[in-house]
Amino acid sequence: MTTPASRKHREAKIERLELRASPRQASAIRQAAAATAKTVTAFVLDAATVEAQRAIADRRLFRLDPDRWERFVNALDRPAKEKPRLRKLMRRPSVLD
């Protein structure tokens, strides 16, 4: 059975990113990669991906027709104790954790 994590590792890496770093930055990155038992590439990709997800996390666009918008606003205006699904969602780890 293929899990999302195993698909992630098998995804073809065809894009190339290049960057320049000072000797101090490169040394810190190499040390951090070694400390986390990752290659420099894996460490930089993981760190950059987390930071990218963080940067776009609150910049999502969604559109609703007027009826759904009204229901959405009404749901937001209800007291938190009436939002069990929101409470459950807030207990889950986010991309920012």
- The pTM (predicted TM-score) of the whole model is 0.52
Average pLDDT score over residue span 54-60: 78
Domain spans of the chain, in order of start: 21-91
Instruction: Select the more confidently predicted residue: 12 or 25.
Output: 25
Res. 5 pLDDT band, cuts 50 70 90: low
- In order, the DSSP letters of the chain are ---HHHHHHHS-----------HHHHHHHHHHHHHTT--HHHHHHHHHHHHHHHHHTT-------HHHHHHHHHHHHS-GGG-HHHHHHHHS--TT-
